[in-house]
Amino acid sequence: MKFFTTVGPIRTDDNYYVSLSKRLNEQELYQLIEQKKYFVLHAPRQTGKTSTILNFAQQLNNEGTYTALYFNVEGAQALRGNIEKALPVIVQEIKNQATMTLPLHDPIFDVFEFLKKEQVPAGSLLITLLSTWSQRSTKPIILFIDEIDSLVGDTLISVLRQLRSGYVQRPHAFPQSVCLVGVRDVRDYRIWSHEDQQIVLGGSAFNIKAQSLRLSDFNQSQVGDLYRQHTAATGQQFDDDAIAYAFEITQGQPWLVNALAYQACFVMVTDRTQAITKEIIEHAKEALILRRDTHLDVLVDRLQEARVRNIIDAIITGIDTSIDFPSDDIQYALDLGLIARRNNNLVIANPIYQEVLPRELTYSTQLTMPQQQLWYINPDGLLNMHKMLTEFTQFYRENSAIWLDKFAYKEAGPHLLIMAFFQRIINCGGRVHREYALGRSRLDVLIIWKTQRIVVELKIWHSPKKTLTEGLQQTADYMDRSNATQGHLVIFDRQEKEWDDKIYTRVEKVENKTITVWGM
C-alpha cells in the first residue's frame, strides 16, 4: 500500500507523488544541459527538491546519453571552513553515491584509486576528480550537488571556485552541466572567508551560473491529483471542499499537503468507505500544529534570527508604513518559505504557518500563565468574553512590563501576549484563527467556541482616526465576513502615560454591529 510521506525523498514505489513533469519544466532542464550550462535549483526545505532531482538523474541515466550523478554535501557541514577535512568527506560521498547508482565499469572508480595514490591535496580534490573522470568517461557528465548551501565559509568557497575553475574545460575535461541544489540562490550567499578575512559573495565565487530555477509549491490541481491517487488505490474519496480547503490552508506547500493527508487518511479515518471532508482536514490541521512536527520546529528556529525576526515582527503587527528592510533579508525569508509576496504585500506563506508562528513564539508563555479555562466558562458552557478581556486588561497592566521584556519580538509583544492568553484559555475547547500581513495595520483574531464566533481586532494606538475610526470599521467588516456573534476592538497604547489614562471599556455601534472597545 502506498502512503503520503513527510520524511525524506519520495520513493515512487511506496509514496503518492506529483511527477517531475508537473513540478519543473523538463524541456528547460534538457535545454540547459544540452547548452552545457551550470545552473541553480532552489526552494524552501521539504518542498521535494531532492526527490525531483533524484528522479531526474535516474531518468538521464536510463536514457543513456549522459552519465548523471547526484550527491549530497551536507555531511561536510559540521567541519565548517576546514577544507582539509571537509573536501575528503565530500569526495567520499561522491564515491558512495557512485557505488549505488553507476555501473561498476564506470571510470570514476579508477579515479578514486588515482586520487589516493597521487595524494592530491584537499584544495584540489574536487577539480582533479571531476577533470580526470570527465576525460576518461565516454559520455558527458551531469552533476547534481544537493544541500550546497549547507556548506560553511572557506569550504563552500573552495567548492564553488573549483567548479568555476574547471568550467572552461567542459565537456571533455569537466562535467558538461552542473546543478547546485539548495534553499537559497547562490547569488544570495554572503560567505565569511577566514583565509581572506572578508565577506565573499556567492555570485562572485560562482559567476558561471546561467540560470536560477525555483521549484514551485503545488497548485490546487496538483493537490487534487495527489489526493486522488489515494482514492484510486483505496477507494477512499476526498470531497472537493476538502481538497480546496487543504490547498487554501497550505498554499500548496508540499510537506503540509502530504502531512494533512497522512493525518486524515492513516491516523484519523482508516475506514476507506468514509470520505475525507473539509471538517476532517480542519481537525488534521489542528493535530499537526499541536504535534509540533520537525518541519514546523525547523521553521520556528529561524524566527530567532534577527534578519527574520525584524520582518515577522512587522508582519504580525501589520505595520502600514514604509520600512527599509535590507533586500537580502527579504529574499532570505522568502527563500526559507516563511513569507510570500501576494498583492504587492509581504505575508506569512500560508494560513497554517500563520497559526504556528504566534503559537510557537509564545509557547512557554502559554504554559506558565496562571489562567484556567474554567474561570471563563458560563453555566451554559459558552465563553464569557467580557470577563476574559477584563481579566486580560488587569493581567496586562500588572505584568506587561515584565512579560514583554521577555519577547524578542518587541513591536509585536502586546499582540503575542494576548494571543498567548487566548490560546491558553481556548485550547482543547475551541479554535483561534489569525489573519495578518504587512500593511494591514491590524491583526484579526477569530475565536470559535461551540456556537460562538467572536472577532477580536488588535491595533496599536496611533491617532483617533487611524486607530479608533478605522479600527471600528475594520472590526465590523471582519464580523460581517466571519458571520461573528460578537466583536471586540483591543487598542494597545504604547505611549508614556498613566495606566488610568490608557485603560477604558466602551461600546460602539457601527452600522448594525455592536463592538466593545478595550483600551489598554
Enclosing domain of residue 431: 355-519
Q: What is the pLDDT of residue 193?
A: 62
Is 344 a domain residue?
A: no
Per-residue pLDDT tens for 271-307? 999 999 999 999 999 899 888 776 777 777 888 889 8
**CATH for 233:** 1.10.8
Classify 187 in phi/psi space as left (phi over 0), alpha (psi -120 to 50) or beta: alpha
**CATH for 136:** 3.40.50.300
Q: What is the pLDDT of residue 363?
A: 83
Q: How far is CA 186 from CA 45, 82, 189, in A?
A: 16, 20, 5
Q: What are phi and psi of 474, to 5 degrees?
A: -65, -40
Is 204 a domain residue?
A: yes
Per-residue pLDDT of the chain (520 residues; tens, 9 = 90+): 899 998 878 888 899 999 877 888 889 999 999 999 999 999 988 888 998 899 899 999 999 999 999 999 999 999 988 999 999 999 999 999 999 999 999 999 999 999 988 888 989 999 999 999 999 999 999 999 999 989 988 999 999 999 999 999 999 999 999 999 998 888 767 666 677 667 666 666 688 888 889 888 999 999 999 999 999 999 999 999 999 999 999 999 999 999 999 999 999 999 999 999 999 999 999 899 888 776 777 777 888 889 899 999 999 988 877 788 888 899 889 988 999 998 888 899 999 999 888 888 888 888 888 778 788 999 999 999 999 999 999 999 998 888 888 788 888 999 999 999 998 888 878 889 998 888 888 899 999 999 999 999 999 998 888 899 999 999 999 999 999 999 999 999 999 889 999 999 999 999 899 999 999 9
Specify whether 272 is located in the same domain as 153. no
Bond before 171 cis per omega within 30 degrees: yes
Specify whether 103 is located in the same domain as 43. yes
How many domains are there within the chain?
A: 3
Helices (H), 2-77: 20-23, 26-34, 49-63
Specify whether 111 is located in the same domain as 234. no
Is 404 a domain residue?
A: yes
Specify whether 152 is located in the same domain as 241. no
Residue 134 grid coordinates: 570527465
Specify whether 153 is located in the same domain as 234. no
Final residue in a domain of this structure, among 147, 180, 214 = 214
Specify whether 182 is located in the same domain as 269. no
Task: Please state the pTM of the whole predicted model.
Answer: 0.85
Q: What is the pLDDT of residue 163?
A: 95
Specify whether 112 is located in the same domain as 180. yes
Enumerate long-range contacts of 310-314, CB under 8 Å, 24 or more apart: 311/339, 311/346, 312/338, 312/339, 312/348, 312/357, 312/409, 312/412, 313/409, 313/410, 313/411, 313/412, 314/411, 314/438
Specify whether 460 is located in the same domain as 375. yes
Give the whole-angstrom CA distance, residue 246 versus residue 248.
5
Final residue in a domain of this structure, among 176, 197, 214 = 214
Tell me if 419 sits within 8 A of 358, measured CB to CB: yes
Single-letter code of the amino acid located at 331: Q
Specify whether 195 is located in the same domain as 85. yes
Q: What is the pLDDT of residue 192?
A: 62
Final residue in a domain of this structure, among 253, 276, 291 = 291
Specify whether 37 is located in the same domain as 151. yes
Enumerate long-range contacts of 53-62, CB under 8 Å, 24 or more apart: 53/144, 53/146, 53/179, 53/181, 54/9, 55/10, 55/12, 55/20, 56/20, 56/24, 56/26, 56/29, 56/144, 57/101, 57/142, 57/144, 58/101, 59/20, 60/33, 60/142, 61/101, 61/102
Q: 3-state class of 240 per DSSP?
A: helix
Specify whether 165 is located in the same domain as 51. yes
Specify whether 73 is located in the same domain as 206. yes
Is 64 a domain residue?
A: yes
> Count of residues for the chain?
520
